Amino acid sequence: MTSAIPHRALALTCAAALGTLGLSLSPTAVAAGSPASPTAKVGAARTTLAGSTPRWLATAQKQSLTAAAAAAGTQSVRVYLSPRGGLDALKATVAKLYDPTSAQYHHWLTTAQYDAAFAPTAASAAAVSSYLRSQGLTVTGVEKNRRYVSATGTRARLGAAFGTTLATYRHDGQTVTANASAVSLPAAVGASVLTVTGLDTTVSTKTPQHVVPGATGDAPTITSSAKADPNATPPDAFQNGRPCAINFGTPLALFKADFKTPLPKFAGQTLPYAPCGYTGPSFRAAYEGNSALDGAGVTVAITDAYAWQFIARDANTYASQHGDGSYAPGQLTQSVPPAFTHQATCDPSGWSGEETLDVEAVHAMAPAAKIKYYASASCNDSDFLETLGRVVDDNQATIVTNSWSDLEENESAASVAAYEQVFLQGATQGITFLFSSGDNGDELAKTAIKQVDYPASDPYATAAGGTSTGIATGAITAQTGWGTHTWALSPNGQRWIDGGFLYGAGGGYSALFNQPAFQNGVVPTTAPVGRAVPDIAMDADPNTGMLIGQTQTFPDGVHYGEYRIGGTSLASPLLAGMMALANQGAGTGFGWANPLLYSAPKGLITDVTHGTAHGIKGVVRVNNNNGIDATDGLSYFVRTFDQDSSPATARGWDPVTGLGVPHPALLAAVSTKQ
């Protein structure tokens, strides 16, 4: 199930966007393409913040308001402070931590060490706060580690404070207030400022990247900093139709569910029925080679919006029924904000399935790893930034899996700078950030523009792409890129009718970031110049996906049920679980994973191509017409493999599976590489 991702027409060409955001390729061997710099121009008295003019401004319609009305409205802003010593100094430290020739290689900082070296100073926070108050604004708080100063005020005073005018605009279905020109500050204050968010009130939300096919014991003790949101309605029940396969490849779809009415071949081939859904034992055998490692001593963080009130009970029921082992006391914990907001627009019920998938997938791959769930107050950018800040400040997890994203065209330079500051802190502390790459291929069919998703496209994040994966008796028997066209059985049952592209792994080339150095010589030279997405892949096809268990709303009441699910939201937590085993073997985290992955010796990552499907074109999936059982009839569909929107699998790196799928041998190899 996916929520609609808000989108807008891209007002700038890729080249113009890069110029506006000030993005460039770092010369450092392992460095990434840069985000917006905190300052672009220092005048005699004021500093102008780079990329602070809204990207959509040129195509927006200015709305007419009286001068009094335009000035009187109030809104809130966050003034993000530059790292102590400047952003370049922080990036230089990160480069040394990931340079194998450096004496600092993989010598991670503690949170206290990071704060001492790079946290904005109290003097900077005080100076910015004093300036804001002098401009008639109300300072409402300073983030505990001084990442930002928050303030409110009238639009007139905000405009004056930031050297611009706030006006009302209409763009892409939203009526917003935003700055009409670049933001500037007095030079003495601007030197301490990284970026400013909130002047542009365009709503930017993140959506979960999972897909439910067919759908548009004792619980562990959860320790939390607040109560879970009690208002998430259990989602409508869904159960997969039968027949389905326990092991991929059999039974073949020769007949309908009555086992006597013939089904037609597809492109001359009798396809197998879709798997019922893989569980932990199958995934561990296929991806980890039944390693003796189990993730013990490692903590994996999961971030999503809201907090599912039944997660402890559901996760333990699922684990105990499918061979993953019950959770030990304190193994599953959560950190939640003081309150949840924006439920009407963010849909807590939809996020409940995402949280369930993430928790159960990580535990399936790493049964002894600790899982700490970090709940965002809503699906808004500002709240996810707050959540990721809690993760790096706690510094308990070495791996963070994030199964959510938004389109690159919806990101501002301000939000990118704020996210990347958190990623850089995590990189110094040895924390790996994984993000699902998206479920809509190149996004062309959805947005009319080829683009990738953010934060997956950030060079300091590892983007998880997707495969269609056949697992039988614990071994991968077929795998190729996840890209699906749907074909429905004709009314007379004699042929399959093409329904076109349905979904597929997100991938392509960034418009915000140049290709980072770690991709040089790996991504084809014929590819566009942008940061290439994804980096690596695991199972994501909802037709070869994971069976999960969740409390749902059935006709006879609310109770536990199971269904198959997919999307790159599956690939990311599967990868997080496998990385937990690698961290256990190495005795430490790997931090920013991309330099390590792109330098991995041959054989440690399995290349995925069209040929690795071994000629299998797809599967036949059966849907219950009522979503629950066969009482209202069944529908039959072919779901194809390796037919993404335009990204295609190929030898070497490709925009569907990235480098490919981690091989079990990677677990041993990374231990010796530390």
* Structure confidence by residue, pLDDT tens digits, 334-351: 999 999 999 999 999 999
For the ranges 31-35, 256-260, 565-569, the lowest mean pLDDT is seen at 31-35
Confidence of residue 218 (pLDDT cuts 50, 70, 90): very low
Chain centroid to CA 433: 9
Confidence at residue 69, expressed as pLDDT on a 0 to 100 scale: 63
Please check whether residue 369 lies inside any domain of the structure: yes
Is the residue at 224 inside a domain?
Answer: no
DSSP 125-194: HHHHHHHHHHTTPEEEEE-TTSSEEEEEEEHHHHHHHTTS-EEEEEETTEEEEEESS--EEEHHHHTTEE
Secondary structure of residue 517 in the 3-state scheme: helix
- 370 and 506 part of one domain: yes
| Overall average pLDDT of the 404-430 stretch | 95
Average the pLDDT over each of 117-131, 183-197, 214-228, 377-391 and give the range with the smallest value: 214-228
Domain-embedded: residue 440? yes
Which three-class secondary structure state does DSSP give residue 442?
coil
Pick from 32-36, 184-188, 294-298, 605-609: least confident: 32-36
Q: Please give the pLDDT value at position 265.
A: 98
Look at residue 235 and tell me if it is in a domain. no
Give the lowest-confidence range in 21-30, 276-285, 642-651. Answer: 21-30
Q: What is the pLDDT of residues 541-557, one digit of tens each?
A: 999 999 999 999 999 99
Is residue 239 assigned to a domain? no
Q: Which of 201, 236, 254 is the last residue of a domain?
A: 201
Binned at pLDDT 50, 70 and 90, residue 18 comes out as: very low
On average, the pLDDT of the chain sits at 90
- Spatial contact of 586 and 671, defined as CB atoms under 8 Å apart: yes
Residue 103, C-beta contacts closer than 8 angstroms, at least 6 positions apart: none
Give the residue carrying structure tokens 């792994």.
Answer: 505
293 and 193, same structural domain?
no
Angle (CA) 338-341-342 rounded to 5° is 170
Rounded to an integer, what distance in angstroms lies between the CA atom of residue 204 and that of residue 206? 7
What are phi and psi for residue 25, nearest 5 degrees?
Answer: -85, 125
**Within-domain flag for 106:** no
Query: CATH number of the domain that 375 lies in?
Result: 3.40.50.200
Q: Are residues 163 and 296 in the same domain?
A: no
User: Based on the domain organization, do 516 and 649 belong to the same domain?
Assistant: yes
Sign of CA dihedral 139, 141, 144, 148: negative
Identify whether residues 190 and 328 lie together within a single domain: no
Which residue range(s) make up the domain with 191?
14-82+120-201
> Across the strands, what pairs with 543?
none
From 27-36, 388-397, 652-661, the region with the lowest mean pLDDT? 27-36
Q: State residue 666's pLDDT score.
A: 87
Point out the domain boundary residue: 161, 184, 201.
201
Last residue of a domain, one of 201, 231, 259: 201
Residue 66: the pLDDT is: 64
Residue 374 has pLDDT above 90, yes or no: yes
96 inside domain: no
- Given a cut of 80, is residue 14 above it in pLDDT? no
Answer whether 24's CB lies under 8 Å from 514's CB.
yes
- At 427 the three-state DSSP class reads helix
Q: How many domains does the chain have?
A: 2
Indicate whether 190 and 314 sit together in one domain: no
Judge whether 124 lies within some domain.
Answer: yes
Confidence of residue 670 (pLDDT cuts 50, 70, 90): confident
565 and 436 in a common domain: yes
Q: Which helix (H) or strand (E) holds 669?
A: helix 665-673
pTM: 0.91
Residues 301 and 161 in one domain: no
When mean pLDDT is compared across 202-206, 254-258, 586-590, the lowest value belongs to: 202-206
Residue 222 has pLDDT above 70, yes or no: no
Give residue-wise pLDDT tens across range 583-629. Answer: 999 999 999 999 999 999 999 999 999 999 999 999 999 999 999 99
Token reading at 188? 């003495």
- Does 298 share its domain with 192? no
Query: Within this chain, do residues 22 and 130 fall inside the same structural domain, yes or no?
Result: yes
Q: Do 601 and 482 share a structural domain?
A: yes
pLDDT in tens, 134-178: 999 999 999 999 999 999 999 999 999 999 999 999 998 889 999
Residues 309 and 161 in one domain: no
Q: How much is the pLDDT for 71?
A: 62
